[in-house]
Amino acid sequence: MKVIIAAAGTAGHINPGIAIANKIKEQEPNSEIIFIGTSRGLENDLVPRAGYKLEKIHAYGLSKKISIENIKKLYKTFKGYGQTKRIIKDFKPDIVIGTGGYICGATIMAANKYNIPTLLHESNAFPGKAVKMLARKTDCILVSFEDAKTRIKNAKKIVHTGTPIKIERKDYTESEKINIKTKLNLDVNKPIVLVFGGSQGAQAINEAIIQIANRKLNSNYQIMWATGPEQYKIIKQEFADIKLDIESIQNMQIVPYIYNMEEVMNISNIIVARSGAMTITEISNLGKPSILIPLPNVSNDHQLYNAKVLEKVGAAKIILNKDLKADNLNKEIQNIINNPQNMQQMGINATKNAVKNVEEKIYNEIKKLVK
């Protein structure tokens, strides 16, 4: 099979594309797969690291405003359509797959020009502009959440497959849990609240956790906090300003990045995070209670819609970014921790959104399109 995968910008678009490519290679080792992206996004690191060739085109997200900058982007994006047509003509793929974002426009339209089967994967509960715009031009759209189906109009075919992720549920023994906690310098007896917000857009989460530490509100639970590499130095200085050493704060372990995230998520009791599509999928698969703070000012407020997927089944509490403070975050954590039965039920509820055999389902839909 010869496959082109369009994936650009964020890891939430690129990692599902790589997972799809890996599944195709697993099933058909002789397959040829190339990616189409831009020169600006994370695809420049993630795609070559995964062992795939990356072809770069001009592609930009466009705003509704009329401006010189927008006209320039439109012109460059039109050039990207021409570049994609040349790539497709030379490579002669059996199928063109897009995993969301502005890069999909040029690739799906170019594939249509040559009558090549097309497939889009949408990770968010509220589909992005590109997927909605291309719905009637695409042979099949795969969605991560059942809720997304009703928000895509005029699609030829929509299938709920879920989103492929790296992190899976592990049933560790008590001994294994103790070993993991000990390696992380965590108390083996206190509940663990895992906090992560990413390297951008997590200022409200940062400030709330700093104040929880400063006021020692978490005496009955401990926090494992991945700040993101970009934020770690800033947060370290903010702690220093209030006379706290980031490496010796009571009931708190703070690191730039967690490399063994699968282990840490599995041993954690509660997860506090943004509500990107991958995070929601991981929480669902692991069956964890969560407190979600959707990133504001993103396209169609899609993180809020993602969070509501878990809130609706009683698996998560949502705190809006503008409302987030140390007191209400600590209150929600305490409410969950102090009611073990409710905490357990929230975890069970989270699994209602889990989808099994995701890669297999996606591969089957690809095979239906490739004659």
What pLDDT band is residue 62 in, cutting at 50, 70 and 90? very low
pLDDT for 250-290, tens place per residue? 999 999 989 899 999 999 999 999 999 999 999 999 999 99
pLDDT digits 0-9 by tens, 96-146: 999 977 889 899 999 999 999 999 999 999 998 888 889 999 999 999 999
Antiparallel, parallel or unpaired: β 95-98 and 2-6: parallel
Question: What pLDDT score was predicted for residue 74?
Answer: 56
Q: Where in the chain is the domain with CATH 3.40.50.2000?
A: 2-162+356-369, 174-353
Give percent above pLDDT 70 in the chain. 94
DSSP 200-211: SS-HHHHHHHHH
Where would I find the H helices in 40-185?
43-49, 68-91, 103-113, 129-134, 174-183
Confidence of residue 314 (pLDDT cuts 50, 70, 90): very high
The per-residue pLDDT for range 141-174, each reduced to its tens digit, is 999 999 999 999 999 999 999 999 888 999 999 9
Cα dihedral across residues 247, 253, 257, 260: positive or negative: positive
pLDDT at 68: 60
Q: How far apart are CA 180 and CA 249, in angstroms?
A: 20
Question: What topology is assigned to 2-162+356-369 in CATH?
Answer: Rossmann fold (3.40.50)
* pLDDT confidence bin for 10, thresholds 50/70/90: confident
Higher per-residue confidence, 181 vs 66:
181
CB atoms within 10 A of CB 348: 13
The token pair at 304 is 């809020």
What's the whole-number average pLDDT of the chain? 92
319-371 residue pLDDT tens:
999 999 999 999 999 999 999 999 999 999 999 999 999 999 999 999 999 97
Tell me the H-state helices in the chain: 11-27, 43-49, 68-91, 103-113, 129-134, 174-183, 203-214, 229-241, 261-267, 277-286, 302-312, 326-337, 340-350, 358-369
Place domain 174-353 in its CATH homologous superfamily: Glycogen Phosphorylase B; (3.40.50.2000)
pLDDT of residue 301: 86
Q: Are 157 and 369 in contact (CB under 8 A)?
A: no
List, in order, residues 6 or more apart from 341 with CB less than 8 Å away: none
